[in-house]
Amino acid sequence: MSILAPPDTMTPAPGGLDEPTRRRSRRPAVALFIALMTGYFTAGALMVLRYDFYEPDAFSRVANAAYTLMSRDPHLGAVGFVWNPLPSLVQIPLLPLSHWWPEIRNDGLAGILQSAAFMAGAVVLVRRIALDRGVGSLWLWIAVGCFALNPIIIAYGASGMSEAAMLFCLLWCVRRLLLWIETRYVGDLAIAGIALGVGYLTRYEMIPAAFGAAVLVGAIAYRRAPQHSRKSFAFSSMMIVLMPIVMAVGLWAATSWIVTGEMFATVSSQYGNASQVHTAVERGGIITNANWYVIGQRMLGMQPFVGLAVTLAVAVAALKRRVDVLAPLATFGAVLAFAAWGHFTVSTFGWFRFYMPAIPLVIVVVLVCWTPITGAPGSLRLDSVPARLAAGLLCLSVVVGMPVTAYAMLDRGNTTNQPLLLGLNSLIDPRQYPPEEYRRMTASDQILADWLDRQNLPAGSVLTDTFISSPVWLASGNPAQFVVTSDYDFTAALNRPWDFGVRYILVSNPAGNAAKDAITQRYPSIWDDGAGLGRLVHVAGPAGREWRLYRVEEPTDELAESEIPTDETPMVRPGG
């Protein structure tokens, strides 16, 4: 007997579909996955290779994977601790293919493969939820198309970013929560927890999703348990769903502390979210849009019917005594609430893409409001008020919601500092968004990398902080020539470059950096005058994204003495 299910309510196997139906559904699922992954990847490859625009954060994630294999000092800790590691880790096996297909590394196609696969997997999970609910094939494919063909889903499935992996993990968790609510099979609850743990390794927004899921699970378990064991039953159920993410947070924090000296570098490091937000606030870049009007505009621009979906779910829960409709609210809704709170308090940037969970929230609410899982699947039934309202909401999401999202993606207020969306605007309206400003973003990086490659430099000749310069490192055919931030001797080389064989120091324009990089933090005047370390020999890039390359020269005795690290000297830990 398990404490997690009273004897009269235990189910010996997970619900959803019987085994023959599961087998029949796999071939269409595999075909759907392959077709969508191919489509998303093709779109992303065109954006980078043909039209030359991309998300710089996506390049950073590819570079973090590549440092572990191809840097001057390869080691797994080089995957970095500013970004959550999963999107980079899954790219590591792809990078050896760059020996035959250089664009896998040089142009970040490994990242696009990652996001395309996760987004295609998310679509397959939407299909599985629809199959679990037995909504009928027509409505199933409408729901799948409403998610898979949404313009912003396509864009970020093709972006190389981490949103696709986050949506995959959220949908994975929600599906298993729905099965657990219906069948009480503890294995589904455990898998929901695993999905949350894996999701934390993608984005830290999974923490509010885990909190919401735990509260829902605890409440349901408390109501279901016998009177004498309600508290222990609820607590143990919550621990099952929370334990994987607690372990993921703890293990990743411990690893980060061992390697970098910071437990939560994603937030607290000199490159982390807090530092980037602080820098943006100092420049006046985001403080003006931190209000509820902008938050509501972005939320409804992402999915104009999210409020109706939440209202429908709450009404069904209250009037029909159904708790399954609360599962998407507890997970997707928690992430959206966190995004809105972070935006309003200027704790995060509040980018338009942060509101993307509104799209699957509406679709899953629609599917759950349909005929319960116990009904016979395959028919096209609208035999209840919730089902009819859900069907109308789904149709509106296709006919109205998707065009609204496409329009919001191109709105200037939502595209600020979003290179991917600005690049799309440049394709549609090149007069207002000139290609030379919003596309061709890799040109200067490639030119600079080619210039350095032609110098035939030995390993460790170019010191650079890869927080900004990862596209240059990726474009180079000789990555070992760079001393990068994750190298164990980076700090020592930064403080005394002339003693470590450094010939050049590559500096990015601090006025355009999202946060202070290690070089300009260590030598505040280096961009303007070289800080006495050397002479300017090369300049590349357009205004705001310039590079300056300084040739290191032997220092005077006074300078050499001043560069010995002291307690006041900013130091940089490896692995950032």
Cα gap 164→537, rounded to integer Å:
42
Degrees, nearest 5: CA angle 185-199-68: 135
The closest alpha carbon to 321, from 380, 233, 382, 386, belongs to 386
pLDDT tens digits for the chain (576 residues)?
A: 333 444 334 333 344 455 555 555 688 999 999 999 999 999 999 999 988 888 888 989 999 999 999 999 999 989 988 889 999 999 999 999 999 999 999 999 999 999 999 999 999 999 999 999 888 888 999 999 999 999 999 999 999 999 999 999 999 999 999 999 999 999 999 999 999 999 999 999 999 999 999 999 999 999 988 888 888 999 999 999 999 999 999 999 999 898 888 888 887 777 877 777 777 777 666 655 778 889 999 999 999 999 999 999 999 999 989 999 999 999 999 999 999 999 998 888 889 999 999 999 999 999 998 765 444 444 446 667 888 888 899 999 999 999 999 999 999 888 887 889 989 999 898 888 888 778 766 778 888 999 999 999 999 999 999 888 898 999 999 999 999 999 999 999 999 998 899 999 999 888 777 777 889 888 989 988 888 888 999 888 776 568 899 999 876 555 555 444 433 333 333 334
Cα gap 80→266, rounded to integer Å:
10
Q: What is the end-to-end Cα distance of the chain in Å, rounded?
A: 48
According to DSSP, the β-strands at 534-540 and 547-552 are antiparallel
According to DSSP, the β-strands at 482-483 and 504-508 are unpaired
The separation between CA 20 and the C-alpha centre of its own chain, rounded to angstroms, equals 36
3 state SS of 127: helix
**Exposure of 458 by Cβ count < 10 A (0-12 exposed, 13-18 middle, 19+ buried)?**
exposed
Torsional sign, CA 17, 22, 24, 26? positive
Residues 351, 418 contacting (CB under 8 angstroms): yes
pTM for this predicted structure: 0.90
Question: Who contacts 208 (Cβ-Cβ below 8 Å, separation ≥6)?
Answer: 334, 335, 337, 338
Residues 147, 171 contacting (CB under 8 angstroms): no
Please spell the DSSP secondary structure of 372-438, one letter per residue: -TTSPTT-----SHHHHHHHHHHHHIIIIIHHHHHHHHT-HHHHTT-HHHHHHHHHH-TTTS-HHHH
Residues in the chain: 576
- Domain ranges (residues) in the chain: 18-53+108-409, 443-562
The closest alpha carbon to 131, from 331, 362, 378, belongs to 378
Q: What are the beta bridge partners of residue 539? A: 548
**Buried/exposed 434-452: b ≥16 CB within 10 Å, e otherwise:** eeeebbbbbebbbebbeeb
Hey, what are 271's tokens? 């490159």
Cα gap 361→350, rounded to integer Å:
19
Residues 274, 342 contacting (CB under 8 angstroms): no
3 state SS of 271: coil
Q: Virtual CA dihedral for 464, 465, 468, 473, nearest 10 degrees? A: 50
3 state SS of 539: strand
